[in-house]
Amino acid sequence: MFSKTFGYALRATVYVAVHGRIDKKVGLQDISEGLGIPHYFLGKIMQDLVRHGILDSTKGPSGGFFPNEHTADIPLTNILKITDGNLVFDQCALGIKRCNAEHPCPLHDDFAACQMK
Amino acid sequence: MFSKTFGYALRATVYVAVHGRIDKKVGLQDISEGLGIPHYFLGKIMQDLVRHGILDSTKGPSGGFFPNEHTADIPLTNILKITDGNLVFDQCALGIKRCNAEHPCPLHDDFAACQMK
DNA sequence: CAATAAAAAGAGTTAAAACTCTTTAATTAT
DNA sequence: ATAATTAAAGAGTTTTAACTCTTTTTATTG
């Protein structure tokens, strides 16, 4: 349902939001040790988060990751979309192919209400 | 977080509970077509459910799957344990290795409350 | 009791997710 | 300017989950 990658991304974002500022960047090493996430793998995930504007980063000595003006307001679902794509959002909660507004499954309406696309 | 297999198992169990009785068995074909789950794969999953007593089955012509006296009362978490193991239950919600009752993470207590082992 | 129909069991293959390593580019400090 | 440091990018490998096929066992029915 949710990938491990999503969990890592979420936790790393919170970690940077809590520990970092523009004048106090958080290094990859620091995050991966602090959260127990494989170093190289987390690198890839962080790349993605920065690319999508969830966080900012700089290279070079004393470089690292830090929150930007949006970070605190980003809906969790944005991160979910980045790591896991839209699958959770555009398919039936019960996996029924012909489920739609006309022929809703028992969960259709409740589920639609919390998808907030 | 939850495997696809778990979703299949859950849906198939409900399908059999709804459509089957001891004198009206539900065939694998029927379930897999009704729910859009790959035939052979579902076979494996059903095997497991029967082995663990979630459902009953008989072989032979007009054989198939049917609910037993427990089926309706089985906690969803039993099925989760069968398909996904205990991982969801015995590790920290935030994935922090040194999280425990003494050194709880922010979610520890809330999460423990809903693990109901 | 033979033929048939169904699930169970065994033994895989394929595809996707998780993870690693190496090289390159950017930044800082000397 | 050069060396050092750090993230980005590229190009993988490994592991796990998802899925498939074949053979065997069990039950039913004519």
Whether residue A18 sits in one domain with residue A46: yes
Whether residue B95 sits in one domain with residue B73: no
Whether residue B106 sits in one domain with residue B62: no
Average pLDDT along chain A = 85
Whether residue A57 sits in one domain with residue A21: yes
In a domain, A17, yes or no: yes
In chain A, alpha helices (H): 4-19, 28-35, 39-51, 76-84, 87-90, 108-113
Contact B35 A96 (CB under 8 A): yes
Distance from CA of A5 to the nearest CA of B (A): 10
Closest CA to B35 of B12, B14, B13, B19: B12
Chain B residue nearest residue A36, CA to CA: B96
**Closest to A1 (Cβ–Cβ): which among B2, B11, B36?**
B2
Instruction: Over range B69-80, report the average pLDDT.
Output: 92
In a domain, A78, yes or no: no
pLDDT class for B8, splitting at 50, 70, 90?
A: very high
What tens digit of pLDDT does each residue of B12-38 get?
999 999 999 999 999 999 999 999 999
How many structural domains compose chain B?
Answer: 2
Whether residue A62 sits in one domain with residue A104: no
In a domain, A79, yes or no: no
Whether residue B37 sits in one domain with residue B16: yes
> Cβ contacts of residue A44 below 8 Å, gap of 6+?
none
Whether residue B79 sits in one domain with residue B40: yes
Chain A residue nearest residue B12, CA to CA: A94
Angle at B53 between CA B33 and CA B115, to 5 degrees: 95
Nucleotides of D under 7 A from a protein CB: 4-11, 17-22, 25-29
Q: CATH no. for residue B34?
A: 1.10.10.10
In a domain, A53, yes or no: yes
What tens digit of pLDDT does each residue of A30-49 get?
999 999 999 999 999 999 99
DSSP B19-36: H-BTTB-B-HHHHHHHHT
Whether residue B92 sits in one domain with residue B81: no
Whether residue B39 sits in one domain with residue B68: yes
pLDDT at residue number B28: 96
In a domain, A80, yes or no: no
Whether residue A95 sits in one domain with residue A39: no
Residues in A closer than 8 angstroms to B36, CB to CB, are 95-97
In a domain, A13, yes or no: yes
Q: Between the CA of B41 and the C1' of C7, what is the distance in angstroms?
A: 13
pLDDT at residue number A92: 62
Distance from CA of B88 to the nearest CA of A (A): 12
Distance from CA of B99 to the nearest CA of A (A): 11
Whether residue A38 sits in one domain with residue A64: yes
Whether residue A52 sits in one domain with residue A20: yes
Q: Which residue has the higher pLDDT, B112 or A70?
A: A70
Rg (CA), chain B: 17
pLDDT at residue number A86: 73
Domain region containing A54:
4-72
